[in-house]
Amino acid sequence: MVELKKLENGTTLIFEDVPSSETISIGVYVKTGTANEGDYPEGIAHFIEHMLFKGSKHYTRQQLSTEFDKIGGYNNAYTTKMYTCYFCKTLKRFEKKATDLLLDMVKRPLFLEEEIVREKKVILEEIKMIDDTPEEWLMDKLENEIYKDQPLGRMILGSPQSVNEIDRATLVDFHEKYYQSNRLIVSVAGAYSESLKEEIIEQLTDEQSISIDEEQPNMHFVEKKETYYKNELEQTHFMRSYAAPSYNDEHYYATNILNTILGETMSSKLFQVLREEHGLCYNVYSDFQSFHNDGLLTIYVATDKENVDASSALITEVLKTLLNDGITQEELDDAKSHIITSFLMASESNQNKMTRNARSIMFHNELISNEKFEKAINQIQLKDIKEATKILLEAPYSEFILTEK
């Protein structure tokens, strides 16, 4: 059973009871990500994520680490284009301690000067780590160029220059503006107590609710073909990205299935043609991600630089064959089965329940149950896949290559 509650200040609370579980997962989701940064230095949303672990009103940096470790909890955080998440998974007996730690760090961070100086060095090292990971570097570059000078084009980590621009006053200002109560979703899944619900409501009942006028703009997809060079690469990394549906678009579920058929499994078209039939690569896949009004379907291949042109031609051929010849009912049923099975298996995890519920409210403004998701997938027919393929092939696309000098 899932209970949804909205406080007067706008905070959304979601509780999914799993009585037989020995664990509880608690997530605090802030409807603020890199795309919300506006005129702030690029990467500030991610910098805030780091800083919230560096001391709060009731816990020092060391105490936060020690207390999370003491309860054996798995805690972490991450920043996306659309939101930031702080979460903890622990035994149900530690539910109140885990909640207290999370809410204190999210609501009442200190932003100590010495911690800011130290964490800048950490984030600069994180940027270097991405620079040393060709696949991640190219994906960041691709999104940055496709949405050039637009909110979705901002780099999550920022650049060395933008990170060095961030100071305490900027962090405090961003937190006060974008961590308002009406931007918070607290999602709980597992064997929680009634007293925990009461405590969460008590801690989050405040008057922090400044309205921010944020109309989600339609992004302009920039068509480009770029080649970048780095030394000492063993493979060439190739990406082609198409403009794709948003998560509330009528073609969202059909494109989800199309992505599975195209490049998400070992039986997918791209895997079978590029790797199994032609032996051009070891790693090939497609990925579909959606935003408020936009989406991207990206195809990735890691191969020898001499195989890039052949790989690109085969990708085009696979897509055109999908459009002209379509797929069989058996292929559609297999793809549906894969998606539904993966979704339902993931739903057995409290952490995945917590995430699914929060994302459902953020993106769809309703709770998407297992039954509703399965029904939405099963309603897709062959003609819907053909239409989604047609839309994809008519959409603008960009190609990016990272290769050795």
For 25-82, the pLDDT digits (tens) are: 999 999 999 999 999 999 999 999 999 999 999 999 999 999 999 998 789 999 999 9
For residue 167, what pLDDT is reported?
97
Q: What tens digit of pLDDT does each residue of 253-276 get?
A: 999 999 999 999 999 999 999 999
Cβ contact 14:188 at 8 Å: yes
User: Do 306 and 169 share a structural domain?
Assistant: no
For residue 208, what pLDDT is reported?
67
For residue 72, what pLDDT is reported?
83
Looking at residue 36, which CATH number applies to its domain? 3.30.830.10
pLDDT(159) > 90? yes
* Dihedral sign from CA coordinates of 326, 329, 332, 334: negative
Split at pLDDT 50, 70, 90, the class of 232 is confident
360/113 Cα distance (integer angstroms) = 37
For residue 59, what pLDDT is reported?
97
User: Do 357 and 284 share a structural domain?
Assistant: yes
Average pLDDT of the segment spanning 92-110: 96
Q: What tens digit of pLDDT does each residue of 285-307 get?
A: 999 999 988 999 999 999 999 99
For residue 38, what pLDDT is reported?
92
∠ CA 345-350-354, nearest 5°, is: 105
186/184 Cα distance (integer angstroms) = 6
For residue 217, what pLDDT is reported?
64
Q: Which uninterrupted H or E stretch holds 96?
A: helix 95-107
Split at pLDDT 50, 70, 90, the class of 219 is confident
User: Do 243 and 192 share a structural domain?
Assistant: no
For residue 212, what pLDDT is reported?
67
For residue 215, what pLDDT is reported?
61
Encoded tokens for 114: 């010495």
Phi-psi group of 235: left, alpha or beta (phi > 0 → left; psi -120 to 50 → alpha; rest → beta) = beta
Q: What residues contact 219, with CB distance under 8 A and at least 6 apart?
A: 147, 150, 151, 152, 291, 293, 294
Torsion of CA 343, 344, 345, 351, to 10 degrees: 80
User: Do 261 and 179 share a structural domain?
Assistant: no
User: Do 344 and 240 share a structural domain?
Assistant: yes
- Look at residue 178 and tell me if it is in a domain: yes
pTM: 0.94
- Look at residue 220 and tell me if it is in a domain: no
User: Do 313 and 232 share a structural domain?
Assistant: yes
Q: What is the number of structural domains in the chain?
A: 2
385/19 Cα distance (integer angstroms) = 40
Split at pLDDT 50, 70, 90, the class of 1 is confident
Split at pLDDT 50, 70, 90, the class of 405 is confident
CB atoms within 10 A of CB 300: 22
Q: Cα–Cα distances in Å, from 375 out to 159, 248, 370, 393?
A: 43, 16, 9, 27
For residue 68, what pLDDT is reported?
95
162/184 Cα distance (integer angstroms) = 26
244/146 Cα distance (integer angstroms) = 12
Average pLDDT of the segment spanning 75-95: 96
User: Do 233 and 169 share a structural domain?
Assistant: no
- Look at residue 187 and tell me if it is in a domain: yes
- Look at residue 219 and tell me if it is in a domain: no
- Look at residue 214 and tell me if it is in a domain: no
- Look at residue 73 and tell me if it is in a domain: yes
106-118 burial, b at 16+ Cβ within 10 Å, e below that, comes to bbebbbbeebbee
User: Do 370 and 319 share a structural domain?
Assistant: yes
For residue 73, what pLDDT is reported?
77
Split at pLDDT 50, 70, 90, the class of 206 is confident
Print the domain residue range for 392.
225-404
Q: What are phi and psi of 88, to 5 degrees?
A: -145, 140
Average pLDDT of the segment spanning 247-252: 95
User: Do 356 and 290 share a structural domain?
Assistant: yes
3-state SS, residue 298: strand
3-state SS, residue 283: strand
Split at pLDDT 50, 70, 90, the class of 189 is very high
Query: 2: which strand partners?
Result: 16
169/161 Cα distance (integer angstroms) = 17
Percent of the chain with pLDDT over 90: 94
Average pLDDT of the segment spanning 339-361: 95
Closest to 152 measured CA to CA, from 364, 295, 255, 286 = 295
321/6 Cα distance (integer angstroms) = 49
Split at pLDDT 50, 70, 90, the class of 315 is very high
For residue 214, what pLDDT is reported?
65
3-state SS, residue 185: strand
- Look at residue 38 and tell me if it is in a domain: yes
Q: Cα–Cα distances in Å, from 325 out to 67, 382, 394?
A: 59, 11, 17
3-state SS, residue 228: strand
